Amino acid sequence: MLKIEGLTAEVEGKPILRGIDLDLPPGEVHAIMGPNGAGKSTLAYLLAGREDYAVTGGTVRFAGQDLLALAPEARASAGLFLAFQHPVELPGVGNALFLRTALNAIRRARGEDELDAMQFLKLVRERMRSLAMPEDMLKRSANVGFSGGEKKRNEVLQMALMRPKLAILDETDSGLDIDALRIVAEGVNALRGPDFSALVITHHQRLLDYLVPDRVHVLIGGRIVQSGGPELARKLEAEGYGFLQAAA
Look at residue 40 and give its three-state secondary structure. helix
Considering only 6, 71, 145, 147, the residue that binds other proteins (CB under 8 A) is 71
Would you call 134 exposed, middle or buried from its count of C-beta atoms within 10 A (0-12, 13-18, 19+)? exposed
Residues 50-69 that bind other proteins (CB under 8 A): 50-51
Is residue 146 a contact residue for other proteins (CB under 8 A)?
A: no
Helical segments of 92-147, H only? 95-109, 117-130
From 4, 32, 82, 96, residue interacting with other proteins (rule: CB under 8 A): 82
CB 4 within 8 A of CB 21: yes
Site membership for other proteins, residue 148 (CB under 8 A): no
Contact set for other proteins, span 101-120 (CB under 8 A) = 101-102, 105-106, 109
Minimum Å gap between C-beta 174 and other proteins is 18
* Contact call for residue 49 and other proteins (CB under 8 A): yes
Distance CA 31, CA 81 (A): 15
Those residues whose C-beta lies under 8 Å from the C-beta of residue 2, and which sit 6 or more positions away, are 22, 23, 24, 47, 60, 61, 62, 67, 166, 197, 199
Task: State in angstroms the smallest separation of the CB of 164 from other proteins.
Answer: 10
Q: Distance between CA 32 and CA 48 in Å, rounded?
A: 16
Q: How many residues bind other proteins (CB under 8 A)?
A: 28
Positions in the binding site for other proteins (CB under 8 A): 48-51, 71-73, 75-77, 82, 84, 87-88, 90-93, 97-98, 101-102, 105-106, 109, 141, 158, 162
